[in-house]
Amino acid sequence: MNKIYRLIILMAITGTFTRCDSYFDPITNDILDNKDYIGNTNELYSGYMGIAAKMQVVADQAIFLTELKSDFLEPTPNAPQELWDIYNLNDLNGNAYANPKGYYDVIINANDYIAKALEYRDGNPRAVDNAVFVPLISGAIRFKVWAYLMLGKIYGEAVYFDAPLATLTDLSKFPVLSLDELIPKLMELMDVGTAGIDGKQVLIWTNLLFPGVATSAQDLTWNMICPSPEPLLIELNLWGGNYQRVVDMSMQLIYDNGGGRYKIGNDDYNAEWVQFFHRDPITKTRELINIVPFDYERNQTNRLIRYFSNTHPSVHYVKPTEVSMSRFERQVRLDGITIGDNFRGNNYTYMMQNGDWVVRKFSRDRESSEMIYRNNVHIVIYRAAEIHLFLAEALNNLGHFAEAEAFLNDGVQEYLSKYAGNLKYPLDNEVYNSVINRNWGVRRRVNLQPVYPEGLSKENLETNDDIQTYKRRLDELILEEYCMETAGEAKSYFAMIRIAKRWNAPSILADRVSAKYSPGMQSNVRNTLMDQNNWFVKYDLSLTNE
């Protein structure tokens, strides 16, 4: 690629990353300009970043919406009524936190970008290399798939359309797909795509912009802003019950072509791994796969610090619940002492500050009133520990219990030692094992003892009922780990939905969530949540433009 061409791309991208009225501070109601959109190569790149801008707008929305519906957060007396309505399972029509418009904006912009980019290429076939153009379209597909998956997980359904639209008012003429109907449709988008381009092609921005030059932190951030095809497909297949594909893809991702980048090992031991939530994430790329980045120095902020902290001038709208904090406190260390999860939990996930509990996970770098807003709080889309939990969940449901427990508990290293001579899929792969043999597992990384289903031994499951009982109990232990490992990341509630649906057991979700309420509310909340229709947000789409 010649220098002039690279300069055009760099100007397009860096412009969107540094102007406060562009990528990281977008106008939420704008729709792509149909008149002049993608009239030259510069706009091909800035238009792509425009889709990412729409993703940034909704990056923190799911955290407040789903963590209040899960068991991790509750409103404080400072909180506005709209947050209390989420917590109290009230009607959410017209509630700004529940409005799905932002997710549809991502989809509308992705659809329009794809249509206009293809039109531009048809009219200018030599303007951009296919090696660049194809991954741009593929990335736009993944932005769209991610937004639809979020809609499905939050609202239980979504209006599906591939056509470019001018406004949200056109949604009424398209079909509404349930979450179960969305999953195969989104997998088809990833595998087949549009115009002969699937959703699995990746553009390495650093190679494009700076070939032969050492990558900088900003360059690596660009590589992380679009959901990667592997974790997105892994999650889609997990929801779809395609457990074999989940396992195969997860193992390949952790192996990382021999790099082992996404294994969980002692190079990120104990408390050190949590730093990527509140410091430069590029220093911890072994864990992070995709993020929505924020940079205080470029006026890029989200609402996490303001809502979580009670240090002035924060507003402290939400705080951790007693039931979620007690989960961490019940944990047993590897040395057998029950002192709680001291590398997550108290002082890491949350802390007592200024006389009340606050979520600390995202603010530990700078916490004084003068510095707290200088935290670069990144929203994590996918990270290595989540892939390990996906993998454990899939292995468990394939009946590979010891292997599932390895990724949940004390890792590949201990498994290879314990089962030498009797290794089972997928840990019988010598090539993979040569790279991930130092994998420590989710719980061992934070110095906690392994957990196993009580009352049954996986070595002595005599009947199918025994097998199913063990499988369900292990699923619930994996769910408990989601609740601790991903607290505050808008992930555990979705795991509750997925696992409760799998076992047709609404109590798996209802018992956990209702436990955070006062004794006078618990029974009513539990009864409400025993109906699966009440797990999802109900929102009248006709209100999205109000």
Q: Which residue in this structure is represented by tokens 């992930």?
A: 491
At residue 50, what is the residue type? G
pLDDT surpasses 80 at 7: no
Q: Is 445 left (phi over 0), alpha (psi -120 to 50) or beta?
A: alpha
Instruction: Grade residue 209 by pLDDT with cuts at 50, 70 and 90.
Output: low
- Using CA atoms, how far apart are residues 54 and 306, in angstroms rounded to an integer? 21
Tens-place pLDDT, residues 329-363:
999 999 888 788 988 999 899 999 999 999 988 87
Tens-place pLDDT, residues 213-246:
666 665 667 788 899 999 999 999 999 999 999 9
Q: Residue 525's pLDDT is what?
A: 98
Rg (alpha carbons) of the chain, rounded to whole number: 23
Instruction: Grade residue 371 by pLDDT with cuts at 50, 70 and 90.
Output: low
Q: Residue 39's pLDDT is what?
A: 56
Better-predicted residue by pLDDT, 15 or 386: 386
119-131 mean pLDDT:
86
Tens-place pLDDT, residues 159-171:
999 989 877 777 7
What is the pLDDT of the chain when averaged over all its residues? 87
Of all residues in the chain, what percent carry a pLDDT higher than 90? 65
The DSSP string of 346-407 is BTTTEEEETTEEEE-TTTTT--STTTGGG---PEEEEEHHHHHHHHHHHHHHTT-HHHHHHH
The answer for residues whose C-beta is within 8 angstroms of residue 216's C-beta and 6 or more apart is: none
Structure tokens at 319: 């705080």
pLDDT surpasses 90 at 109: yes
pLDDT surpasses 80 at 183: yes
pLDDT surpasses 60 at 446: yes
Tens-place pLDDT, residues 48-105:
989 998 998 999 999 999 999 999 999 999 999 999 999 999 999 999 999 999 999 9
The DSSP string of 90-107 is ---TT-TTT-THHHHHHH
pLDDT surpasses 50 at 20: no
Instruction: Grade residue 197 by pLDDT with cuts at 50, 70 and 90.
Output: very high
At residue 112, what is the residue type? D
Q: Buried (b) or exposed (e) across 58-78, using 16+ Cβ within 10 A?
A: bbbbbbbbbbbbbbbbbbbee
